[in-house]
Structures are given as structure tokens and as C-alpha cells.
Chains A and B, each alone.
Chain A
Amino acid sequence: MKGMTIIVKTVSSWVKVLIFLFGINIILFGHLTPGGGFAGGVILAASYVLLMLAFGRDFAEKNLSLTAASQLDCVGALMFAAVALVGLLYGAASFFWNLIHQQYLADKATEFKLVSAGIIPLCNIAIGLKVGASLFLVILTLSICCKDFKHSTPSTKE
């Protein structure tokens, strides 16, 4: 998949950074404003898709390769599992227990601030990482399929 004209390349090289930053904003403030992990992750993936559309698939693949995206995906899921399991190891334990909020922050009045609501921002970050990486992986893989069959003749029917 080839890239686009010089105007599109220049503008999108500025805009994709803004989109990426916006995605990080939606993830980090997920417990205060609408959005959260999944929506922010989709926006992160969208910034990489813009990179792929404007500069060509090979450039995007050199930027974040298939194996690197797959490993980021797994790291995001394992981070989420680690956050959930930490509640088990603590004293009066429970799976997925919001331990930071109940243990450390329960007395302080920390509503509506960035550092509040316990494990929820950590879960949001893990999900945002995972969703962003896996959506980018999906679109990259689909574009591999498109690339191949344009050059080959379709197989005979039945």
C-alpha cells in the first residue's frame, strides 16, 4: 500500500501526534470524564492507522512491527490481570478488590482529582494499551490480505 501526496504527509505528521495525545488524555481521565480505556485505545489505534494511510503500510510496519504490537497486546492484558490479582495477595483479600481506594485513600477527600478512585486508572491504562495495540494489529493484518490478492489471479471457482 503506497502513501499519499506530500500535502497529506506533512499535515498528517503533525496531526497524528495530536490524536495520540488526545487518546492518552481520554485514557488517563477515564474515571472523571466519559471515555475510559476502550475509547482511548481506539483513538490510539486511529493515530497509527492515519500513519499507515498517509505514509504507506511498510513505513507503519517499520514503526511498530507485528510482533511488537502483539507483545504490547499481551503486556496490556497481563498488566490488567496483575492489577486484579494484587487484591488477592493482600490481607482480607478478594479478586479485583479496589485495594488502593479502600486501604489508602478512603480517609482522604480525593474525589474529582486525577489521582483517585483506586485501581480504576490503572485498569484504564492497561485496557487502553491492549485495545490500541490489538486494533492496530487487526487493521495491519487485514491490509496484508488486501495487498496479496491484488497481484494474484483469483482461484478457479469450485
Chain B
Amino acid sequence: MPYALCFLLFTIGLYCAVVKKNMVKIVIGLAVMEYAVNLFLIMLGYRVNGTAPIVDKTYYDSSTHQVTADFLNAAVDPLPQALVLTSIVIGLGTLALMISISIRIYEKYGTFDITEIRKLKG
């Protein structure tokens, strides 16, 4: 059921990016879409009553150099968290580039409305 809410957020972002006419609103729609996918990825690793996947001395057995078995049974999956970290960095780069292009377009055309920015036709 929480996955359905992620898809709802994704469709809201997609609607905003496709339908709206103001450039800044399109950028915000894309950002919302991106965060919806990140949220979906994190929720994939969730385990009910799980703990954070950080190993400290209580979960570690120094004699065999292994983590204890109850840590492995209780911790949430850390792999989606690594994926989401990468995805957030990519989103940051994209957002910075989009905002700077929007600012430059405003300087050249004088408006943020994409229906008036139509020099390329055909």
C-alpha cells in the first residue's frame, strides 16, 4: 500500500511536468518525480521493526570478525540506501543545470511561459 502512494506522487510530478506552462513549475514537477522514485527505492528495503544498518560494538563479534546473526535478521536492507544516495546526487546536478538554463532563458526571452518560447518550429 505505501508503494501505491509513491506511484501517486510520481504521477502528480509527471502531470506537473507535462501540463504546466511556467518553466519553474515544470522544474518543480520534475523534482517531485525524482523524489518519488527515491522514496520508492528506500521503501523497497524496509523491514517491519527493523533497525538502522549501522554496525557498532554490540552487533560485532571480535573473535570471528563477523557481525552477529541477530543484526542480519533485524537490520533493514542497506543497498537501496546506497542507490538512493547516488540518485540524490544525480538529481542535484540535474536540478542545478535546469535552474541555470531557466534563468538564462528568462534573460533572453523575458518570460517564463513556455508557450511564448517557440522560436524552433516545424
Residues of A within 8 A of B (CB): 33-34, 38, 109, 111-112, 131, 135, 138, 141-142, 145-146, 148-149, 154-158
Check A148/B116 contact, CB under 8 A, given A38-B89, A109-B62, A142-B100: no
Q: Are A149 and B107 in contact (CB under 8 A)?
A: yes
Return the chain B residue nearest A38 by Cβ: B89
Q: How far is the CA of A158 from the CA of B54 in the complex (A)?
A: 56
Option from A109, A112, A131, A145 in Cβ contact (under 8 Å) with B56:
A112
- Looking at chain B's contact residues, the main secondary structure is helix
A residues near B56, Cβ cutoff 8 Å = 112
Interface contacts (Cβ under 8 Å), in number, total 48
Q: Are B116 and A149 in contact (CB under 8 A)?
A: no
Return the chain A residue nearest B97 by Cβ: A138
- Within residues 72 to 107 of chain B, which ones have a CB less than 8 A from any CB in chain A? 85, 89, 92, 96, 99-100, 103-104, 106-107
Q: How far is the CB of A114 from chain B (nearest CB, A)?
A: 14
Q: How far is the CB of A90 from chain B (nearest CB, A)?
A: 23
Check A154/B106 contact, CB under 8 A, given A38-B89, A112-B56, A112-B57: yes
B residues near A109, Cβ cutoff 8 Å = 62, 65
Option from B60, B65, B103, B116 in Cβ contact (under 8 Å) with A158:
B116
Check A154/B104 contact, CB under 8 A, given A38-B89, A138-B96: no
Return the chain B residue nearest A111 by Cβ: B60
Q: How far is the CA of A57 from the CA of B65 in the complex (A)?
A: 52
Q: Are A145 and B54 in contact (CB under 8 A)?
A: no
Residues of B within 8 A of A (CB): 52, 54, 56-57, 60, 62, 65, 85, 89, 92, 96, 99-100, 103-104, 106-111, 116, 118-119
20 A-B pairs with C-beta separation under 8 A: A33-B54, A34-B54, A38-B89, A109-B62, A111-B65, A112-B60, A135-B92, A142-B96, A142-B99, A145-B100, A145-B103, A145-B107, A149-B103, A149-B106, A154-B111, A155-B108, A155-B110, A157-B109, A158-B109, A158-B116
Q: How far is the CA of A154 from the CA of B62 in the complex (A)?
A: 67
Return the chain B residue nearest A141 by Cβ: B100
Q: Kindly list the 3 A-B residue pairs having the minimum CB-CB distance in the complex, ordered from nearest.
A: A154-B110, A145-B103, A138-B96
Q: How far is the CB of B112 from chain A (nearest CB, A)?
A: 11
Option from B54, B103, B108 in Cβ contact (under 8 Å) with A146:
B103
Q: Are A158 and B119 in contact (CB under 8 A)?
A: yes
Q: How far is the CA of A149 from the CA of B119 in the complex (A)?
A: 22
A residues near B100, Cβ cutoff 8 Å = 138, 141-142, 145
B residues near A131, Cβ cutoff 8 Å = 89
